[in-house]
Amino acid sequence: MGCVREVEDEMPIARTMTAVAAVAALASCTPALPTALPRGSAASPDAPEARPSRVGLALTEEPPFPGERREGWEGLGDAAPGGHAHHGGHRHGR
């Protein structure tokens, strides 16, 4: 019985030392952060507030036709010119 008691007494010390070593290792791995952020960066406290997004827009409204107002529809800009002129509108590979 005396041997069991000695092992039980050493376990809390081992756990404590392991926890201290883990915390020390993790504390030394913090990322380096810049001291100042550019004003245009979204992370900057001086940056202007972003406009609110309309999350359910596609569920409540029809998307705009080409040439119509696209306000609130993110990513519906004008198509990039060119790229498909070489095939005259035909779909290759179908």
Model confidence over 52-85: pLDDT tens digits? Answer: 777 787 788 888 888 888 877 777 776 666 665 6
The answer to whether residue 4 scores a pLDDT higher than 70 is no
Q: What percent of the chain has pLDDT over 90?
A: 4
pLDDT at position 72 is: 74
pTM of the model: 0.29
CA dist., res. 4 & res. 18, Å (int): 21
The answer to whether residue 91 scores a pLDDT higher than 60 is yes
The answer to whether residue 20 scores a pLDDT higher than 80 is yes
Rama region for 67: left / alpha / beta (φ>0; ψ in -120 to 50; rest): left
